[in-house]
Structure 1
Amino acid sequence: MLVVAALGGNALLKRGEPLTAETQRRNVQVAARSLAAIVRAGHDLVVTHGNGPQVGLLALQGAAYRPDEAYPLDVLGAETEGMIGYVIEQELENALNHERAVATLLTQVIVDQHDPAFEQPTKFIGPVYERAEAESRADALGWQIAQDGDKWRRVVPSPRPLEIPDIRVIQLLLEQGVVVICAGGGGIPIVRRDDGSTLGVEAVIDKDAASALLARQLGADALLLLTDVEAVYRDYGTDAASPVHALTVARAREMALPAGSMGPKLAAACDFAEDGGISGIGRLVDALAILEGTAGTRVSADV
């Protein structure tokens, strides 16, 4: 099977942990062991990952310079793809005892320059703050902010991904048996101009939506959306909460889940599964079990 595994933010950084290289590498080592189990079970693997805290940190560092010297979000996204991809690549090679080739690919993703998301920023990036500090930074740096749980964070535009022009390169690597790490942070957002040329834009694409698009364009058999929650829960956050282990696309689309957490994952799972593939949502450490249908939540077109 060809499996696309999307690592949630917890694969690199859990809420409240310091944003240090050591912390992220320690978390990636755990992720690499779970991903290696998929490869050892005989499957081909493509890995995607988030970059919200990392791209936010780079943007903060850029704020120390003059406004005309700061790099735009598409360039910062490319930087994080290389930075995070390097750590995942190295630890996955170690977990596989260097028996399979692993490669990281900077991945461009086309979006619509007229997407309404550019007028309504919703994508969280960067660290969390108390409200007063977030408001102070927003005033000083021209940010837009929104509440994230009991904290506040910067929000930026998150346009819908339309096409992955680098898909041919990914396919060539897969044909050679390479484990591919790509579309990190949702990919580098670009627009196609009237003359056919492309140009990066100030945005961050949702990683789960980009992963679903990637899985569809590759013709993958399965999409795994890996996080720190064991499954999709009905009535989450209440005394009546209970895990749901199997959902049809129709039933899944009827569920009302938080937009800032499980909602985008379930939407991405539906987008992929409605074309006949299998989507799985659950804990990173259960990756292979989710693929085999013994853990997490499985989403499919039919029962």
Structure 2
Amino acid sequence: MAYKIGYRTLKTAVGAALAIAIAEGLQLEFSASAAIITILCISITRRSSLRVSWERVAACLVGMAVSAILFELIGYHPWTLGLILLLFIPITVMVKVTNGIVTSSVIILHLYSVGAVSFSIIVNELLLIVIGVGVALLMNLYMPSNDRALRHYHKEIEEHFKTILRELSSYLRYGESDWDGKEIPETLELLKKGKNLAFHNIQNHILRYEDQYYYYFKMREKQFDILERLMPFVSRVHHTVAQSKIIADFLEDLSRSVSPVNRVPYFQERLESIKQTFEEMPLPTTREEFEVRSTLFYIMQELEQYLHIKDQLWNQADKKKL
């Protein structure tokens, strides 16, 4: 098995070395702690790195303030250290900066080791924090692009949707099918992975909260729910009628046009025209025909919603770009 170094591992190694080099260059005490802070602040996304860095800085400031007061009032004893942690940890929980507990504990131990609170040691600790956090943020400026993987999920989902719609069309047309349905669980997994990756991609942009890929996977996820609801109803149509063949033609054309930029209004108008055509047809003469046509009417309603979801979400995405 080949050993592979990930980009995050590489950033952590380079960042830690750079942080120590800067701290030693400034002749700071406990220079290795700058590397520890850098390692702790490097995260999987830019946004989470900013959040974690802020929490660590805030927690360190609180920790220094609490420990400086108690050490000077009570003395530099092990039990004083325990008392500081008893007070400090609940404070971090209250102000929601718990990610900074470990980093702050390192700073508190520095004060305990020195055995005195002075201007020079406070400046030393603040510089360690600034160097550690600053280098981590610098390292996190680089994040590998996810576009290739996102395009892969996009393409695979499109192909799976085409297959599902085509097979539904075939069943309505012939009243039977040898389709094994493997695209259903595969599509579900592709949507899950694609949406997670799109969300991860958003987290790498500081001021962006949604993007086109995110809207795409969100749209397809909702449409897939509709396709899943349709399947048991399509499977009930064992007796083919003229109306089922019309819906089959519609589904087949829809399968050929699966694309994020297909003409939704065209299919909406066509579906409305089909509904009007059905209304003008003679009423069913048998119970079986009545049940089939009722099922087809429900399928048309779901297809209307299927098209509406794309129209609605894509319009929202266009507004976000304005």
Which of the pair is proportionally richer in strand? 1
Report the TM-score, using the length of structure 2 for normalisation: 0.20
Which structure would you say has the larger RCO, counting Cα contacts within 8 Å and 6 or more residues apart? 1
**Structure with greater proportional helix content:** 2
TM-score normalised per structure 1: 0.21
Rg bigger for which structure? 2
